[in-house]
């Protein structure tokens, strides 16, 4: 594992991708927040730029493309607005694609009542913490603390952990100024990548997975790609990464995707 600054630039090493794409058809996985859309203070305000949207549309006409997000499936589809590609939402628990393809994790369905029980308890426990915001997706619950005073973050994290003690069917992961509460099931973005690889390999033959992501939850996907594939860390999440390459920003993501289109 390496820190982001130790990873080679995917733009400077574009020839690695050109060579790999000549050997196998790529399947390009894109994370949404922090990769296609810049991080902003309110999760509702995140947007993909018109230029990035056009780039991803062009990319999807040349290669297979999937957007893999922590957002709810309908939310990320709506925000990205790109037709005829695969999407995975709720960190991979719900997946959809062309020709009305739709798949949801059955085990996670059984855990949904636990979210209904936890959410009001957590809201009540955290009500005095100004700046905490909830985002309920079908299979996960995000608790955002970007607007919480920094000196209260430790207290906030402890309160969430304490509440979760009564919910063994749920667990918690961390992202950029967000706590992600998920079903306590062995499923994540990396598993969703594996699932789509299997599906599309059956349909289109052997493929090379390439994953671009910026956050800690994308590390599950980078790890999945360690068997075979190319992982690209966008920006920095403060920890060492399983990715192979890096890009500095959302702007560099667009520059890199443009280069792939021109191969
Ligand atoms: O997997 P992703 O597509 O990257 O989604 C991860 C989470 O992204 C969103 O939260 C993050 O972006 C927000 C908007 O820029 C920002 O305000 C927040 O602090 C970030 O954590 C989204 O709201 C979550 O549901 C996703 O899980």
Looking at the predicted complex, does its ipTM rise above 0.85? yes
Q: Is the pLDDT of residue 190 over 90?
A: yes
* Structure confidence at residue 205 (pLDDT): 84
Comparing 205 with 128, the larger pLDDT belongs to 128
Question: Inter-axis angle of helices 50-62 and 250-262, to 10 degrees?
Answer: 30
Report how far residue 95's alpha carbon sits from residue 97's, in angstroms, rounded to the nearest whole number: 7
0.95 exceeded by the pTM? yes
Task: Name the active-site residue from 15, 16, 31, 78.
Answer: 31
Tokens representing 66? 């999937």
Average pLDDT, the chain: 96
pLDDT at 246: 98
If pLDDT is split at 50, 70 and 90, which confidence band does 170 have?
A: very high
Whether the predicted pLDDT of 126 surpasses 90: yes
According to DSSP, the β-strands at 141-144 and 170-175 are unpaired
Pocket of ligand 1 (CB under 6 A): 31-34, 39-43, 46, 69-71, 135, 142, 144, 146, 175-178, 180, 215, 217
Find where tokens 């390009």 sit: 28
Q: Are 10 and 245 in contact (CB under 8 A)?
A: yes
Is residue 31 among the annotated active site residues?
Answer: yes
Q: Which atom of ligand 1 is nearest to 45's Cα?
A: 14
What's the CA-to-centroid distance between 7 and ligand 1, angstroms?
Answer: 24
Q: What band does 203 get if pLDDT is binned at 50, 70 and 90?
A: confident
């Amino acid at each position: 594992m390496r820190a982001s600054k130790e990873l080679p630039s995917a733009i400077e090493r574009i020839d690695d991708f050109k060579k790999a794409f000549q050997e196998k058809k790529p399947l390009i996985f894109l994370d949404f927040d922090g990769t296609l859309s810049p991080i902003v203070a309110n999760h509702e305000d995140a947007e993909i730029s018109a230029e990035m949207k056009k780039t991803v549309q062009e990319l999807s006409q040349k290669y297979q493309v999937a957007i893999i997000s922590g957002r709810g499936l309908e939310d990320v589809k709506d925000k990205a607005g790109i037709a005829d590609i695969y999407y995975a939402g709720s960190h991979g628990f719900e997946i959809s694609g062309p020709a009305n393809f739709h798949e949801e994790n059955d085990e996670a369905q059984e855990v949904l009542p636990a979210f209904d029980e936890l959410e009001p308890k957590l809201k009540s426990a955290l009500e005095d913490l100004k700046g905490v915001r909830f985002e309920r997706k079908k299979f996960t619950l995000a608790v955002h603390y970007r607007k919480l005073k920094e000196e209260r973050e430790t207290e906030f994290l402890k309160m969430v952990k304490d509440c979760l003690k009564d919910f063994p069917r749920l667990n918690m992961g961390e992202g950029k100024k967000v706590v992600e509460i998920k079903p306590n099931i062995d499923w994540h973005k990396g598993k969703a990548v594996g699932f789509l690889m299997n599906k599309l390999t059956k349909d289109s033959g052997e493929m090379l997975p390439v994953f671009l992501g910026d956050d800690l939850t994308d590390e599950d996907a980078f790890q999945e790609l360690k068997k075979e594939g190319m992982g690209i860390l966008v920006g920095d999440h403060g920890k060492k990464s399983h990715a192979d390459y890096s890009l500095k920003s959302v702007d560099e993501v667009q520059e890199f995707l443009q280069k792939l289109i021109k191969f």
